[in-house]
């Protein structure tokens, strides 16, 4: 009697070929999606929203105070040449961000305009938010985020 055994299954070579094909396709998809660029775009979108939120809060404060801007906003520097004196402080704590712009006193007290000041998604400072604010001689206020990730994406709003 001749026994004919039929193996039902895949050979090692067949499994390795399928795994290699899946790995190649996964690599192509990951390169096409470019997660670093997507994450950078997301952080830049957050920066744009934060800059507008800060500027809106400053102007709401100004409206409620008969056109007077917070006195801590100075005409020091510009957003293209940021200086420590123009960086918005995180809090009002003594000794924290002593050279920056303290907006927390005016904007976050009793959560009237903001519940808290937003921070740049990648800010590495312990004192500042990573956002900068200046005003011109004509009281035009500019808020900017100098740490943007997409090339050519200047994040700045002036009113």
**Residue 98: inside a domain:** yes
Q: Are 135 and 108 in contact (CB under 8 A)?
A: no
Instruction: State the DSSP code for 141.
Output: E
**Residue 14: inside a domain:** no
**Residue 152: inside a domain:** yes
Q: Are 136 and 153 in contact (CB under 8 A)?
A: no
In three-state secondary structure terms, 41 is helix
Task: Name the maximum alpha-carbon separation found in the chain.
Answer: 106
Predicted TM-score (pTM) of the model is 0.77
**Residue 103: inside a domain:** yes
The whole-number pLDDT of residue 2 equals: 60
In degrees, rounded to 5, the angle at the alpha carbon of residue 148 between the alpha carbons of residues 27 and 53 is 120
CA distances, 119 to each of 4, 47, 72, 156 (Å): 73, 9, 18, 15
**Residue 57: inside a domain:** yes
Q: How many CB atoms lie within 10 A of CB 76?
A: 16
**Residue 117: inside a domain:** yes
How many CA atoms within 13 Å lie on the side-chain side of 136? 7
**Residue 7: inside a domain:** no
**Number of domains observed in the structure of the chain:** 1
pLDDT tens, N- to C-terminus, the chain (159 residues): 565 556 678 899 999 999 999 999 998 888 888 888 888 889 999 999 999 999 999 999 999 999 999 988 887 666 765 677 788 888 765 555 667 888 988 898 889 999 999 999 987 767 788 899 989 888 899 999 988 888 776 799 998
**Residue 46: inside a domain:** yes
Q: Give me the domain span that covers residue 103.
A: 33-158
Residues 6+ apart with CB under 8 A from 61: 69, 70, 106, 107, 113
């Amino acid at each position: 009697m001749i026994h004919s055994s039929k193996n039902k299954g895949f050979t090692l070579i067949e499994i390795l070929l399928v795994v290699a094909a899946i790995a190649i396709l996964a690599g192509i998809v990951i390169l096409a999606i470019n997660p670093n660029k997507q994450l950078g775009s997301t952080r830049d979108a957050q920066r744009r929203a934060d800059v507008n939120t800060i500027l809106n809060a400053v102007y709401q404060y100004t409206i409620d105070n008969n056109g007077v801007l917070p006195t801590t906003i100075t005409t020091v520097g510009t957003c293209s040449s940021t200086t420590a004196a123009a960086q918005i402080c995180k809090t009002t704590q003594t000794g924290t961000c002593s050279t920056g712009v303290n907006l927390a006193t005016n904007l976050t007290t009793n959560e009237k305009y903001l519940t808290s000041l937003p921070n740049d998604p990648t800010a590495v400072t312990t004192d500042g938010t990573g956002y900068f604010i200046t005003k011109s001689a004509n009281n035009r206020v500019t808020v900017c985020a100098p740490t943007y990730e997409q090339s050519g994406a200047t994040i700045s709003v002036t009113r």
